[in-house]
Amino acid sequence: MGTLNMLGLAKRIGARFLLTSTSEVYGDPLEHPQKETYWGHVNPIGVRSCYDEGKRTAETLTMDYHRGAGVEVRIARIFNTYGPRMCLDDGRVVSNFVSQAIRKQPMTVYGDGKQTRSFQYVSDLVDGLVALMEGEHVGPFNLGNPGEFTMLELAEVVKETIDPSATIEFKPNTADDPHKRKPDISKAKELLNWEPKVSLREGLPLMVNDFRNRILNEDEGKENK
């Protein structure tokens, strides 16, 4: 409903509308890496499907308003993004690992840790969104870093950055968790002149510094109560 309301507003006032969609529209992909032309492999009744299908529906509505009502639209399919100021406990894998390692807790890896994701630093995403909004192309565009890591490889990078003695705890995987995810960004490179600049090993320390300061302040606040 939120997307529908905003599309209606964009139609009334003649605004350009940006839909921040997601790599989750590809589901558990059979194509790797994923291009924007790939239709996806999604379980419509799975425990994760409300988010996946919600974003797919939002893309459908956005294109319907563009074709049927002439609304100017842009669609970005955003892959895993990290950086400072994220919620400390938002459930995303990078923030989970960083928070756990700083707090001297085991990093939780679900399944065997061989599933892959691609992680882009927040400033790269912002640059991509600006290029998309200021450009002439509707999209959809994959905005992500094509550097691919298994969950175990990500945990090792977090250990290198925070605490080499950090440990890993394995737990059963969640249902319908995609086995792999990596963007093909050829379209964004060609039409938006955009590609990510910050590697995981460059961006992660910036996030860690922010998380460490906030966790320290949080712990001091608890002690002073």
Cα 53 from Cα 57, distance rounded (Å): 6
> How far apart (Å, rounded) are the C-alpha atoms in residues 102 and 166?
9
Distance CA 171, CA 165 (A): 20
* Polymer length in residues for the chain: 225
φ and ψ of 170, to 5 deg: -90, 135
For residues 147 and 199, the answer to whether their CB atoms sit within 8 Å is yes
Residues labelled catalytic: 51
* Dihedral pair phi/psi, residue 95, rounded to 5°: -65, -35
The residue behind tokens 């060609």 is: 190
Query: Residue type for 153, please?
Result: E
